[in-house]
Amino acid sequence: MNQPSDKVIAINDYIKGDNRDGTLVVCYGHFNVIHPGHLRYLKHARSLGDSLVIALLDDKYFLGDSHFYPENDRAEGVSLLNFVDNVVILNDGGIDQLVQIVKPDILVLGNEYQDRRDEQIELAVSLLKNQGGQVVYHAGQTQYASADLLNYGVDDLEKEKILVFKKACSSQSIKLEDVKKRLNELEKINLLVIGDTIVDQYVACDALGMSAEAPVLVVREIESREFLGGAAIVASHIRSLGSGCHFLSVVGDDLHASYVKEKLIKNGIKPHLICDPSRPTTYKIRYMVENQKLFRVSRLKEHKLSVQLEEEVIKKIYDIAADIDSILISDFVYGVITEKVLNAVRDVASMYNLKIFGDLQCSSQMGKITKFRGFDLISPTEREARIGMENSTDGLEQIATSLMEEVNLNDLVITLGSDGFVTYSKQKDGFFKRQHYPALTVNPIDVAGAGDSMFSVISACISSGGNAMEASAIGACMASLAVREIGNNVISKERLMSYMLKILA
């Protein structure tokens, strides 16, 4: 196999036309920052042929734009991928010249080029078709899980992810001293969390086998434990990081509501719990054998708030607004976050110059991420982002930029499950900066609270004056700690700092 530096060649050095073996595939782009969306696209392209060549836009294409790395750095970065055979920097011409000289069998372009093509792409497509080649439009197969553990050991994967994380921090000029300072700044802010309250019960069981009467798994209950969940754990994480925290929610007239209030007060949070006798406090029971979940039972009602309760929630928002720096919405789509509540949040944010952050959890409910228009940051999963944009085919980059423009966002975090997440940040000149952060824990025990923990610390860090990239690096470490234990356990600032010292040292 060629060394990365040997893979970068000039157009005229490439074997021409039919003087080669196998099917040649060409991909095209700037590849400024490689993230999972690019990897899907490139892996799909490689699967179509015997060799893959990357046509890389040169520095002249970005003349005067300081956001792009030099062409040699970008070429080296993409050449490190083991399924890339060669990288050609388009110094002396465009993709049309490469097509004319190299005569690829297949040119793979992103789906976005089907609807909008510049003159150079149009010419390249025409040339290739005249040469008998094929043009394929594809964004790479969307996937929500990983098969890496089938091919690599846990230790090797974690070492690789830590290296990727360090490189991401280096790319964004994030230093350990900056992280320490940012975490210490969290003590100076007060936040309001609004959303659905959940109590999670985990039931540890002993597997007895199959029933002789029917194909039913039989277990014996050993022990159970309850945790705060939903928006309540978001508030708990924020308080454990040192920030002051108000929590506003609607709960039932039941013992679970009493448990929530008691835990919140014990955690140092100021609870504002409005009672709705028409609904129970949402209660989820997860049955487990060892660390394997068997199934979940949810006791909940999802109807919207009554007009009276909605007005009580809105009044509380206005009452609290003068004492806080930011508002976090943690919406599980169980009825608390109505359109009127969102409008009230936007109104007080404008009145008091507050930042507002939104997170939507709709894995088993119906919700749309675009409801958070005008927020400073939202944190959807890729699936939620695609549902919101009604787009299941375009590449991740296109989904992200379209979502940011439609919802008018400053920052966006799209979570990718075992692939970590990508953060997009809108700069003053309108450029969308982006960075991929890997999931640092390869074999998690319980992923249920990863998103909540990450959303909490990212929002808190930005509220305290940090930027989205710095906050995201801290968020990646927070999520890594969260998935190493069963249930929603709060993570202290000291524990987080200790972990980051270990990773970044």
Domains and CATH numbers, the chain: 4-137 (3.40.50.620), 152-194+231-273+303-504 (3.40.1190.20)
Q: Which residue has the tokens 């708990």?
A: 236
Model pLDDT, residue 93: 62
Long-range CB pairs of 276-279, under 8 A, 24+ apart, other chains included: 276/250, 276/251, 276/252, 276/305, 276/306, 276/309, 277/252, 277/253, 278/303, 278/306, 279/250, 279/252, 279/303, 279/335
pLDDT in tens, the chain (505 residues): 445 568 888 776 665 544 567 899 998 888 877 777 778 888 888 889 898 998 888 887 776 566 677 888 888 888 888 888 889 888 766 888 888 888 889 998 887 777 666 777 888 888 888 988 898 887 655 544 444 443 455 677 788 889 889 988 998 999 999 999 999 999 999 999 999 999 999 999 999 888 888 888 899 999 999 999 999 999 999 999 999 999 999 999 999 999 999 999 999 999 999 999 999 999 999 999 988 888 899 998 888 899 999 999 999 999 999 999 999 999 999 999 999 999 999 999 999 999 999 999 876 667 789 999 999 999 999 999 999 999 887 888 889 989 999 999 999 999 998 889 999 998 877 778 889 999 998 888 888 889 999 999 999 999 999 999 999 999 999 999 999 999 999 999 999 999 999 998 7
Model pLDDT, residue 20: 63
Model pLDDT, residue 146: 47
Residue type, 151: N
Model pLDDT, residue 297: 92
Residue type, 471: A
Q: Of 490, 485, 488, 489, which is closest to residue 291 (Cα–Cα)? A: 485
141: buried, middle or exposed (CB in 10 Å: 19+, 13-18, 0-12)?
Answer: exposed
Model pLDDT, residue 116: 64
Measured torsion, CA atoms of residues 97, 102, 103, 107, in degrees rounded to the nearest 10: -80
Query: Angle at Cα 287 formed by Cα 282 and Cα 291, nearest 5°?
Result: 120
Reduce the DSSP state of residue 412 to 3 states and report it: strand
Contacts of 401 (CB under 8 A, 6+ apart): 424, 432
Query: Angle at Cα 373 formed by Cα 367 and Cα 375, nearest 5°?
Result: 110
What is the separation, in whole angstroms, between the first and last Cα of the chain?
33
Model pLDDT, residue 147: 44
Measured torsion, CA atoms of residues 402, 405, 410, 415, in degrees rounded to the nearest 10: -20
Model pLDDT, residue 198: 96
Indicate if the alpha-carbon torsion angle 144, 149, 154, 158 is positive or negative: negative
Considering the entire predicted model, what is its pTM?
A: 0.80
Model pLDDT, residue 90: 85
Cα(134)–Cα(91) distance, integer angstroms: 24
Model pLDDT, residue 17: 47
Q: Of 103, 205, 180, which is closest to residue 474 (Cα–Cα)? A: 180
